[in-house]
Amino acid sequence: MISDSWRTIVIFRRREPDPNWDGTYARIVDAGQPTPAALGLVEFTGAYLTTFGGLNDEAIEGHPLHGRGLVAYQAHVVLNSAWIAQAEQANSVHRDHRGGWHERYNHYVLCFHDETFECIAKNWRAEELHCSMTEAIAIAATKLIER
């Protein structure tokens, strides 16, 4: 994840099926490998608040939204988000506060194998990449700089 005060960009490995995999071994992935890999890049614009880490696929049942549609290995948009309501309430002490955050912001959740990403943002866009992680990070950094 890379972020500035307006955008948050998440880079992740996309599922890359191995037609020769027989289920008897695990593939260890080194993010520093210079070889190209199937990657995804999701850019959240108007990002207000983000969290990254925490629950993995084996503990996703501990997430407050589990049982309400949240499942591992998927992307979600949370409707009527309590997190947005809490953020709006906290911000309401600001003298220039404008209400109506549920109309302007969305609560996004990306559930990965080892962690969960959540973001309150105005919008998102995604793209598929096929490059090294180093190159993907450079692409993300350029997006933040060029705005």
Nearest Cα to Cα of residue 113 among 28, 55, 37: 55
Tokens of 60: 């996703």
The token pair that represents 32 in the structure block:
């520093």
Same domain, 59 and 105: yes
Selection from 10, 107, 102 nearest residue 65 by Cα:
107
Do 116 and 85 lie in one domain? The reply is: yes
| pLDDT digit string, tens, across residues 23-66 | 787 766 677 788 899 999 999 999 999 999 988 889 998 898 88
**Predicted local distance difference test score (pLDDT) of residue 56:** 85
Residues 114, 132, single domain; the answer is no
Please say whether the dihedral angle defined by the alpha carbons of residues 99, 105, 111 and 112, taken in this order, is positive or negative.
negative
Q: How far is CA 60 from CA 19, 26, 53, 73, 125, in A?
A: 28, 21, 12, 10, 25
Q: Which residue range forms the structural domain that includes residue 17?
A: 1-44+124-147
CA 29 and chain centroid, separation:
19
Domain match, 27 and 54 both:
no
Q: Reduced to 3 states, what is the DSSP secondary structure of residue 12?
A: strand
Looking at the fold, whether 35 and 53 belong to one and the same domain comes out as: no
pLDDT value of residue 80: 94
Supply the pLDDT for residue 31: 74
What number is the average pLDDT over the span 9-23? 86
Q: Tens of pLDDT along 63-121?
A: 988 889 899 999 999 999 999 999 999 999 999 999 999 999 999 999 999 999 999 99
pLDDT of residue 85: 97
Looking at residue 141, its pLDDT comes to 95
3-state secondary structure of 99: coil
89/56 same-domain check: yes
Specify the pLDDT at position 24: 82
